[in-house]
Structure 1
Amino acid sequence: MHRPHRVVSSQRKHLLTATWEGVPAVIYQTLLGGPFLTGYLLYLGAESREVGFVLAVTTFFNVIQILAAYLIQRLQYRKKSMIVFTILNRLMWGATGVIPFVFEEKWWIPTFLVMYMGAFITGTVSGILWTSIISDMVPAKIRGRYFGIRNTILNALGALVLFVGGVILDRYPGGMGFLILFIIAWIAIAANLTLFFFYPDPPFERSKERRFWPMVRKPLSDQPFIKSTLFLGAWLFLQTLVVPLYSYAMLDVLHISYSVMSIMTVVQTAIMMVGFYVWGNLNARFSNRTLLYWTLPLIAMSCMSWGLISILPIIPVLVLSHILLGAGVGGFNQLAFNFMIGDTPKGERPMFIAMYSAITGLASFLGPLIGGQVFKWMEDTPSWIQQYGFQTIVGVIMLLTAFTLGRKVLQAA
């Protein structure tokens, strides 16, 4: 019997496009960011302070989103602008891979910093445009579940890419290994940019405000939103004092190999995959703020668990730390994103997103910057302080903050 072909709705096609677009995005982001970014910076000759600055500076540029949120109100087509800024972001970030072949060694780090900052200035603009479009593409009733499934799929791929990247760097140490990673990343960037052309350009519901300051005051006057955002900013400051520098501590302090470090990150990603699905389903029953609160103790205990290095072998402790981090950070990031696009008025959403990104971005900028400086100061301290002391102290502070201020702000909101 002949069966008619199933008609795929345009909405379903758009959601599939957004999922497929994430595949090459995860490949190039994994190979150019995270632990491989730290390794590449060390290869270029960076010190801990410079590593901390690079890990932090991308979030600092989120402040630009406030101006971008105001300017996009005047755009007729968000999609075209998103594609232009995305191309600029990808090209500048990918071009950092040719630095050792084009410049003298003394210029490697300064050139990287200029290109990297340029990439993420354009990335902040493309990011707010993408968030604005995707929030209109995904219906509110399936938002938690859709992003849970999407994040699970993409993080499974990310885990595989992490493992393969670690094997490549161990087999081809130094410049050759990083060249191979960048070649793969360049191919993924080309595929990623192509898929953006298949995105829709849904109608844009604009703010009722036309002037800059009244538009900025909208999120500032929303008490539940601004209180939650300020707390999350303070939390991210504490978190980013140590978590972004996990890779640095493993590579440069504990002298863990790239393969072992990649396995740790794969463990973290595997737990995040399960967490995305679980948190996404829980989001159908509980509010974003309530679930955000539940993620905080997990992240704090990830930092605290480094203290177990004093009595247990290093590898099992790092596995435990990354398990806790995967469960906590995966849920935190997904729920914070849903909080931005789901708990905010549609017409004012770009400015709400920008305000959240600016406040949390500034906090996330200062955290790794100060954390990198602290690691520099600790070079002459006893080895136990460098290996686990700082992480453990910050973890204790985070846990106390979660059970006091976190409970008051997020549970009451």
Structure 2
Amino acid sequence: MEPERSLKLSIWEGALSVLFLNWSTGVLLTGYALVLGASPGALAVLGGLPFLAQLLAPLALFLRGSRKALAARLNLLARALFLPAVLVPFLPEALRVPGLLLFAGLSQLLAAPVGVLWLSWMADLVPEEKRGRYFGLRNALLGLVGTLGNLLGGAVADRLPPPLGYQAVLLLGVALGLLSVRLLWLQAEPPPPSSPSPLEALRAAGRDRTYLRYLAWVFAWYLAVMVGGPYAIPYFVQVGGFSMTQVGLWTVLSAVSGLLFGPLWGRMADREGHGTVLFRTALVAALMPLLWLAGSRGFPWPIWLAALADALAWSGLNTALANAALAHAPKAARGGYLALFWLALGLGGLGGSLGAGGLSRLSSEPSPYHLPILASTALRLLVALGLRRLTP
């Protein structure tokens, strides 16, 4: 019955996990921060926390024992540690946003090695010839679940007095995240291939010049994305006039569209390679912020159209990024390759978030978000076109 039983369980586990992750790092957390009085600089830091956490991803190589057990225990601790973030409105006003950043950051830092552990485990569990289709389908389904969760969370946040609605949704997210850990334990873990020491695995990846060029592109891409990325939801709310329910509807539209596009990109990746998917989806993601900027409170339709562009881009891009890294990695040194991948992603996203905070202070007209989003668009396009020189 394996690996089919475990692959089905992985989808159910992911559905619960994505609700916690979306609510504790995504649009609901951004709305929570806005209610608590977060400045554009604080929003940039909040958007950069997941990338800061990725700097600890290489620690996964130095953890001994079952990858499943390690991933489950780290997730259990990280999700429980997020609970104090629900209580920060009870702190003095000056400490609320710093408290939110502290507890959200600690939770994400603790979970940072899980990505390497889980992806290494899944790479052994999912047959290589099915990776594109399986992960394309899984990511599309999880995207739908996550965005339906955003819709539900946004509706609760709009209908209960702030910040009570956000607190209720975040508390439910922690409960579902803890439940998902149980499903993680029920999945099979194939015996890991014999591997070199962590330092030898990192050195093997560091000597692979083709892979290093790919990592340089990943770094540049996430830097470009995060120069404007933290301000998408604040722009929708404060410039586009969206309520949190409308933000949830926007993400639902994107996710439903992703259910169509994700499997199509997966089949293309299996047929033509991940490099083709990366290039095409990166071009769409590069131009998409122009639709944000074309929208306003009186003319919101370009923002709604951007939901389709978002689905078209990220339903293929997210999967192709990780699968391109796996395609480079020999089994024996896979951990080192994946650790450097998450490190490049984290450094790029963190650098972009810091740049976003700086750019938001340079101009407040017509909003502090316009200049970072415009800069992000230009940088994304340059990086996407640079992918032509790579062969992931």
Pairwise TM-score range, normalised by the shorter structure: over 0.9
Q: Give 1:5's aligned residue.
A: none
The one-letter amino acid of 2:160's match is: Y
Question: After the TM superposition, which residues 335-346 of structure 1 pair with which residues of structure 2 at under 5 Å, given as runs?
Answer: 335-346=320-331
* Change in CA separation of 1:375 and 1:314 when aligned onto 2, cut-off 3 Å: farther
Shift of 1:388: 4.1
Task: State which drifts further: 215-224 or 47-56.
Answer: 215-224
In 2, Cα distance between the equivalents of 1:161 and 1:389? 31
Question: After the TM superposition, which residues 251-290 of structure 1 pair with which residues of structure 2 at under 5 Å, given as runs?
Answer: 251-290=237-276
Q: Give 1:89's aligned residue.
A: 78
The one-letter amino acid of 1:93's match is: F
In 2, Cα distance between the equivalents of 1:159 and 1:118? 25
Of the three residues 282, 301, 304, the one matched with 2:287 is: 301
1:124-160 residue CA offsets vs partner (Å, 9 max, x unmatched): 1222211111111111011111111212222222222
TM-score between the two structures when normalised by the length of structure 1: 0.89
In 1, Cα distance between the equivalents of 2:171 and 2:383? 44
Of the three residues 278, 299, 321, the one matched with 1:314 is: 299
Of the three residues 177, 182, 192, the one matched with 2:165 is: 177
In 1, Cα distance between the equivalents of 2:67 and 2:379? 42
Shift of 1:373: 3.0
1:340-374 residue CA offsets vs partner (Å, 9 max, x unmatched): 23331111111101101101210101112221332
In 2, Cα distance between the equivalents of 1:100 and 1:331? 38
Shift of 1:215: 3.0
Larger-Rg structure: 1
Aligned partner of residue 348 in structure 1, secondary structure: helix
Q: Give 1:6's aligned residue.
A: none
In 2, Cα distance between the equivalents of 1:285 and 1:192? 33
Question: After the TM superposition, which residues 370-381 of structure 1 pair with which residues of structure 2 at under 5 Å, given as runs?
Answer: 370-379=355-364
Please tell me whether the aligned partners of residues 245 and 368 of structure 1 are also in contact (alpha carbons under 8 angstroms). no
Q: Give 2:319's aligned residue.
A: 334
Q: Give 1:40's aligned residue.
A: 32
* Change in CA separation of 1:342 and 1:94 when aligned onto 2, cut-off 3 Å: farther
1:67-103 residue CA offsets vs partner (Å, 9 max, x unmatched): 332x13xx232222222211111111243112224x3
Q: Give 1:223's aligned residue.
A: 209
In 1, Cα distance between the equivalents of 2:155 and 2:128? 41
1:318-360 residue CA offsets vs partner (Å, 9 max, x unmatched): 0122321221122111111212233311111111011011012
Please tell me whether the aligned partners of residues 245 and 372 of structure 1 are also in contact (alpha carbons under 8 angstroms). no
* Change in CA separation of 1:58 and 1:387 when aligned onto 2, cut-off 3 Å: closer
In 1, Cα distance between the equivalents of 2:198 and 2:163? 51
In 2, Cα distance between the equivalents of 1:386 and 1:110? 21
Is 1:49 aligned to 2:41, yes or no?
Answer: yes
Is 1:141 aligned to 2:129, yes or no?
Answer: yes
Task: State which drifts further: 136-145 or 175-184.
Answer: 175-184
In 2, Cα distance between the equivalents of 1:61 and 1:182? 20
The one-letter amino acid of 1:335's match is: A
The alignment-based identity, stated in percent, is: 22
Please tell me whether the aligned partners of residues 78 and 110 of structure 2 are also in contact (alpha carbons under 8 angstroms). yes
Instruction: Name stretches of at least 5 consecutive residues in structure 1 with no aligned partner.
Output: 1-8
* Change in CA separation of 1:320 and 1:388 when aligned onto 2, cut-off 3 Å: farther
- The count of residues paired between Structure 1 and Structure 2 equals 392
Question: After the TM superposition, which residues 321-400 of structure 1 pair with which residues of structure 2 at under 5 Å, given as runs?
Answer: 321-379=306-364, 382-383=365-366, 386=368, 388=370, 390-400=372-382
Task: State which drifts further: 264-273 or 122-131.
Answer: 264-273
In 2, Cα distance between the equivalents of 1:269 and 1:286? 24
Please tell me whether the aligned partners of residues 54 and 113 of structure 1 are also in contact (alpha carbons under 8 angstroms). yes
In 1, Cα distance between the equivalents of 2:235 and 2:357? 10
Shift of 1:259: 1.8
Shift of 1:390: 4.2
In 1, Cα distance between the equivalents of 2:358 and 2:276? 34
Please tell me whether the aligned partners of residues 26 and 154 of structure 1 are also in contact (alpha carbons under 8 angstroms). yes
In 2, Cα distance between the equivalents of 1:56 and 1:10? 38
The one-letter amino acid of 2:65's match is: Q
In 1, Cα distance between the equivalents of 2:299 and 2:26? 21
In 1, Cα distance between the equivalents of 2:361 and 2:237? 14
Please tell me whether the aligned partners of residues 253 and 387 of structure 1 are also in contact (alpha carbons under 8 angstroms). no
Question: After the TM superposition, which residues 152-231 of structure 1 pair with which residues of structure 2 at under 5 Å, given as runs?
Answer: 152-208=140-196, 210=197, 212=199, 214-231=200-217
Q: Give 2:387's aligned residue.
A: 406
Please tell me whether the aligned partners of residues 267 and 323 of structure 1 are also in contact (alpha carbons under 8 angstroms). yes
Shift of 1:238: 0.8
Instruction: Name stretches of at least 5 consecutive residues in structure 2 with no aligned partner.
Output: none
The one-letter amino acid of 2:252's match is: V
1:256-285 residue CA offsets vs partner (Å, 9 max, x unmatched): 221222222222222222221111111110
The one-letter amino acid of 1:408's match is: R
Please tell me whether the aligned partners of residues 219 and 348 of structure 2 are also in contact (alpha carbons under 8 angstroms). yes
TM-score between the two structures when normalised by the length of structure 2: 0.93
Shift of 1:389: 5.0
Please tell me whether the aligned partners of residues 254 and 307 of structure 2 are also in contact (alpha carbons under 8 angstroms). yes
The one-letter amino acid of 1:392's match is: L
Please tell me whether the aligned partners of residues 297 and 399 of structure 1 are also in contact (alpha carbons under 8 angstroms). yes
